[in-house]
Amino acid sequence: MRILASILIVATAGLALAGGVAYFTQREGIVQRIDERLLAQVEAARVVANGISGAEVGAAPTTPAEAPATTREALRAVLASVVPGRGEGAVGLVNGKVAYIPGVPMEIHLEESPEFIAQVAEESVDGQVRLGTSVSSALGYLRYVSVPVLVAEDPEFGVLVVAVDVRARLADLDAAFRTYTLVAVGALAVMALVGWFVAGRLLSPLRRVREAASRITAADISERIPVTGRDDVSEVARTLNDMLDRIDGSNRAQKRLLDDVRHELKTPITIVRGHLELLDPADPADVAAARDVAIDELDRMADLVDAIGSLAESASGASLRREPVDVDDLTADVFAKASVLSGHSWRLAESAGGVALLDPARITQAWLQLVDNAAKYSPAGSEVRLGSSRRDGAVEFWVEDEGDGIPPGAEERIFERFGRVDAGRGIAGSGLGLPIVKAIAEGHGGRVSLGSSSAGSRFAIVVPLPSDDVIPPDAAADGMAGSTVEGAS
Ligand code: ADP
């Protein structure tokens, strides 16, 4: 409504302005032509008057050398030559009284308005040609010229008056303008109608979006807004649908997590409960065994709760605190922590060098998780290698072991929550380690790469290094987060 109203207001103003300007210019032109015509009449009268007798028209009387003539004679001759056109009238006055009228039919009869005659007679006593305007109820709106007609030595004072009815002359223009007004009003009405229809059609998708959006409730967000076409409104619908997809996805993920957690907690609870039920309180050995089982299971539950907390935190990504980190220092740090784990021989194979923008605590956590897995799932005494390297604009923090590897087909499952291979092959674990590593890598815009064979596995956290994420070590040492590109080493 508002858009339409503003368009109509502007269109109305535009049409009115165009029409008004056109009307008044035309009108000015017509009025000017009326004056020209009246002055031409004066010229014609002058020629006629001079021609017959040397009478002077439109000027102070002079003494003609030729045969004298009377004022009346001159006036009569002049009037005889006047041919009034459409909406015109003429009259000859002698000493302020109507003395002659043209012998042809006229559309206006000046002689019928004594007031007009009196006004013109009074005005012309000074003997000047005068162009004037008269508005009266009897004659309407007139433009007239009064021309003194004088003959020397004749005391009589003649005046030729020619008048034009301005309204009659403007009649055509007025009619045209009335037509224009009608057409303009019609055009505005059509504009309003078409505008209303088009606006309704354009905005109807928006109405559908609103209706669909109001049907989508927190309980059921499966409905999607229908997207038709490629206009802005469809873009809005598409964006809303994408948003709903994300909300839906995260709702589902939350629900799955709850299901998984419930399932995972059920097992230790059942085990502890079974042991307590079968427990013989009189048998100290039985009590001790049940106690050990209960503590074990409770520890497992505590680990599980910690892992779930860690996973939730990593998955949100918001908790990342990126800073310029010296990759060599980070590598040495993690290696130092890994190498104290017993049961394996540890080797630092490679260090990438340079500086990267990342959250060192999170990367350390993820990397140590890979270290822990390598230690868990490879034979005791075997070598575990770790290192950092640069490849294709990314830095990799990797761990390589000599374990049995990941069986083909299980590569995806192990990254899912609680996903384990053969229930961890008898090795304790929650199945949440790799999902946490994955969430941390993805929080850094990266991924976890896996290369595995029966001779061992290589897990790597791949963190891409956009050119402006890499700054020279000197700047990092000064605590500056800069944007200088450093050549890959
Ligand atoms: P958890 O170790 O608690 O079971 P993870 O998510 O860390 O959970 O690992 C999921 C599964 O992936 C493990 O149960 C294990 O079967 C397999 N896995 C992980 N790391 C290795 C590895 N280095 N070598 C062989 N298998 C592995």
For 117-136, write each residue's pLDDT tens digit. 999 988 888 888 889 999 98
What is the rounded average pLDDT of the residues 212-235?
79
Q: What angle do CA 81, 82, 87 make, to 5 degrees?
A: 160
The C-alpha atoms of residue 281 and residue 182 are separated, in whole angstroms, by: 107
Q: Please write the tens of the pLDDT for every residue from 29-41.
A: 999 999 998 888 8
Query: Which of 311, 373, 401, 449 is the best mutation target for the ligand 1 pocket, counting ligand atoms within 8 Å of the beta carbon and taking the most?
Result: 373
What mean pLDDT do residues 272-295 have? 91
Task: Examine the pLDDT at 478 and tell me if it is beyond 60.
Answer: no
Backbone angles phi, psi at 268, to 5 degrees: -60, -35
Comparing 475 with 209, the larger pLDDT belongs to 209
Ligand 1 closest atom vs CA 434: 6
DSSP conformation class of 487: -
> Who lines ligand 1 at CB under 6 A?
373-374, 377, 401, 403, 405-406, 414, 419-421, 424, 429-434, 457
Examine the pLDDT at 473 and tell me if it is beyond 90: no
Q: What Å distances lie between residue 88 and 63, 106, 167, 216, 423, CA to CA?
A: 33, 7, 11, 80, 117
CA 247/CA 398 separation, integer angstroms: 34
Indicate which residue's Cα is closest to atom 7 of ligand 1.
433
Instruction: Using the mean position of ligand 1's atoms as its centre, give its distance from the Cα of residue 388 in Å.
Output: 21
d(CA 262, ligand 1 centre) in Å: 21
Concatenated DSSP letters for 325-371? EEHHHHHHHHHHHHHTSTTSEEEEEE---SEEEE-HHHHHHHHHHHH
Measured from the CA of 369, which atom of ligand 1 is nearest? 7
Q: How far is the CA of 458 from the centre of ligand 1 (A)?
A: 12
- What does DSSP assign to residue 59? S
Of ligand 1's listed atoms, the one at least distance from the Cα of 424 is 14
pTM: 0.51
Q: To the nearest whole percent, how much of the chain has pLDDT over 70?
A: 89
- The model's pLDDT over 375-413, given as tens digits with 9 standing for 90+, comes to 999 999 999 999 999 988 899 999 999 999 999 889 999
DSSP 362-396: HHHHHHHHHHHHHHHTS-TT-EEEEEEEEETTEEE
**SS3 (DSSP) at 11:** helix
Using alpha carbons, list the distances in angstroms from residue 156 to 69, 70, 150, 159. Answer: 12, 8, 8, 10
Query: Which candidate, 95, 129, 92, 86, places its Cα nearest to that of 111?
Result: 92
Q: Is 122 helix (H, G, I), strand (E, B) or coil?
A: helix
- Mean pLDDT computed over every residue of the chain: 84
Q: How far is CA 367 from the centre of its chain?
A: 46
At 333, is the pLDDT very low, low, confident or very high (cuts 50, 70, 90)?
A: very high
Average pLDDT over residues 73-94: 85
Map 402-452 to HEC letters: CCCCCCCCCCCHHHCCCCCCHHHHHCCCCCCHHHHHHHHHHHCCCEEEEEE
Q: Span 302-313, mean pLDDT?
A: 82
| Residue 55 in this model has a pLDDT that exceeds 70 | no
Residue written as tokens 């868990």?
376
In the reported structure, the alpha carbon of residue 371 is separated from the centroid of ligand 1 by a whole-number distance in angstroms of 11
In this predicted structure, what is the pLDDT of residue 32?
93
Mean pLDDT across 262-280 = 87
Confidence of residue 67 (pLDDT cuts 50, 70, 90): very low
